[in-house]
Amino acid sequence: MGGFEELGKKLDKLARGIKADTQSKAERTVKEAKEWGKKLDELGEGVKKTVQEGLEKFVTQTKGLGQSTRLRLQIREGKKDIEEIIRQIGEKAYQLHLQKKIGNVELKKLGAKVTRLKKDIQAKEKQIQRLRSEEKGEGGE
């Protein structure tokens, strides 16, 4: 029976060695897993920080773009208002010219030019009407 005892002792020794080796490797694996966990946490924090900075920059730029667009729109509206006022001034000056109430030589010349253009336009409109009526007269015969 002595051979079985010796074999049993060797098996016990081998089992203890395997158990110690397994426990050592398991502890090392846990330690490595914790280290990897820390590295992943650090990476996650870095990604989070980068995304937050990018979002803040995007929001700032978008806000500035919106303000610029709004200001451009206000400028266009202001220019349009100015054009309308200048048009009204011109109409008023022309009415005064027709009433012979304008003394400024340049305004008188511009008023006379507008009057000539209006007469020319009226003559051309009458010519178009005459051509149309002639076409209708020829088409009806």
pLDDT cut 90: percent of the chain above it: 33
Task: Over range 99-105, report the average pLDDT.
Answer: 90
7-61 per-position pLDDT tens digit: 888 888 888 989 888 888 888 888 888 898 898 888 889 888 898 888 888 887 7
Task: Over range 94-99, report the average pLDDT.
Answer: 92
**Residue 89 in contact with residue 107, Cβ under 8 Å?**
no
123-126, long-range: CB < 8 A, 24+ apart: none
State the Cα–Cα distance between residues 37 and 57, nearest whole angstrom: 30
> 0.75 cut: is pTM over it?
no
For residues 75 and 33, the model is more confident at: 75
pLDDT at 139 over 70: no
pLDDT at 114 over 80: yes
